[in-house]
Amino acid sequence: MKFKKLSMILSALMVATLFAGCGSSTSSKEGETDEEAATSATEETVLKIAALDGGRGVEHWNKLAEKFEESHEGVTVELTAASNLEEIIRPQIQGGNVPDLIYLATGRPEALTETFINEQALHDLTNVMNMTVPGEDVTVKDKILPGFLETSSTAPYGDGKVYLAPLFYSPTGLFYNKGLFEEKGYEVPKTWDEFFALGDKAKSEGIYLFAYPTAGYFDSVMPAMLAASGGIEAFNKAMNYEEGFWTSDDATRVLEIIAKLKDYTEPSVVANANGDNFKKNQQLILDNKALFIPNGDWLPSEMEDAPRADGFEWGFSAYPAFEDGGDMYSYNYFEQMYIPADAANTSLAEEFMAYMYSDEAVGIIAELGKSVVPVEGAIDIASKYLDDLQIEMLSVYDNGAKPVMGGFAATEPVEGLVWNDSYILIIDSIMNGTKTVEDWQTALTSASDKLREAIIK
């Protein structure tokens, strides 16, 4: 049945209402012949796109939709953009109104994209990867930068096929106020020992070492720390739920460092670490009340209109190493777009997705969204639209940091288990002292044992 997969998705999301039907805006009406339906579809086709309205805004999506309509006569792009996108599209899906293309990254608390992955409710993008980029002489897969199509974040099932297309990539790391560091004579720490030593010094001057927007932002902190602790091998063990990993030396020292941050974190952070108040935590950096905050390239534009201390200037660093001379890592975060398996207009959605990798689209995204698409030549196209900080961030791997990217192995749903609860959302409880590292390891081990048995093979 067409909506079987989406029924499972909604069940996993604890949506109890039954589907209203299996139709869509472009499906044949009752009593209408196939020929009439085809004629109607040719005359007017609606491509439904659902996009997260986050720190990158939506102006570029509006322009992209406009350009696509210009090159596709009879096509109207219906854009749904919202910061609470999951709440908007969930009832739409429930009613049989499935978006044709969704831009929504993994790692969000609602885990809607992860549910699509785990329910195997994604459209195979092989055809898109083999398409020629509109107006160019290169295929999509050959234009996308090396490595992006071989991660579990894009090819989650290990079958050599891509199901989620990479979009808007950026190194992630620690943001700070360069002006404050220059004023105080602080140096950006290269190791965790130096990091906490700086925290002690700053605290004596009334400044806390650390803040975080929400616990969910540790989804980019943890991979970098795991890789720094035990190399990419340690990161891969975690991503594949390897037995006993979370009590290993490599994992334990990562968890202990995060727990140590409890005594260096500005006191109001945990109470404000939610979707309504996270900007208050980000404001702590602008007010010189905390030194560092983990984040991505959307942070400066997200806080563009916020007040700030005199002399404020954004700075960026990879995460510290564990030993002198050790490797510093930055998680190369990229967001994804995908086509639901039950989308009504998959062919048209494929065309739009291929267009997203064109030089024209890359330029629009850079100019209006201040973001970079992971394709050859993107930085050259985008550089005239980016500020010095973004260029500094994109150069982090040229300046000695090592990249890590990818995500967890896809699994079948495990009833009653939400991985992020044990993986990173528990950090709020670590920070307020209601959970210990041992509690965290127990939760991680228990969840990993269940998910390891459910890995999709």
pLDDT-derived band at 6, boundaries 50, 70, 90: low
Q: Is the pLDDT of residue 299 over 90?
A: yes
Q: What is the average per-residue pLDDT within 359-368?
A: 97
pLDDT of residue 162: 97
pLDDT of residue 35: 45
- Of 36-40, 247-251, 396-400, highest mean pLDDT: 247-251
Lowest-pLDDT range, 91-100, 355-364, 398-407?
A: 398-407
Per-residue pLDDT of 158-175, as tens digits, reads 899 999 999 998 899 999
pLDDT of residue 39: 43
Q: Is the pLDDT of residue 14 over 60?
A: no
pLDDT-derived band at 151, boundaries 50, 70, 90: confident
pLDDT-derived band at 413, boundaries 50, 70, 90: confident
**What is the rounded CA–CA span in Å between residue 428 and residue 353?**
37
Lowest-pLDDT range, 230-234, 309-313, 325-329, 401-405?
A: 401-405
pLDDT of residue 43: 67
pLDDT of residue 331: 95
What is the residue-averaged pLDDT of the chain?
90
Q: Is the pLDDT of residue 404 over 90?
A: yes
Q: Is the pLDDT of residue 18 over 70?
A: no
pLDDT of residue 298: 87
Q: Is the pLDDT of residue 398 over 80?
A: no
Q: Is the pLDDT of residue 150 over 90?
A: no
Q: Higher confidence at residue 230 or residue 33?
A: 230
Percentage above 70 pLDDT, the chain: 91
Q: 323: closest CA among 194, 200, 234, 201?
A: 194
Q: What is the average per-residue pLDDT within 59-70?
A: 98
pLDDT of residue 10: 53
Q: What is the average per-residue pLDDT within 317-326?
A: 97
Q: What is the average per-residue pLDDT within 331-350?
A: 96
User: Domains in the chain and their CATH numbers?
Assistant: 4-170+334-386 (3.40.190.10), 171-332+409-452 (3.40.190.10)
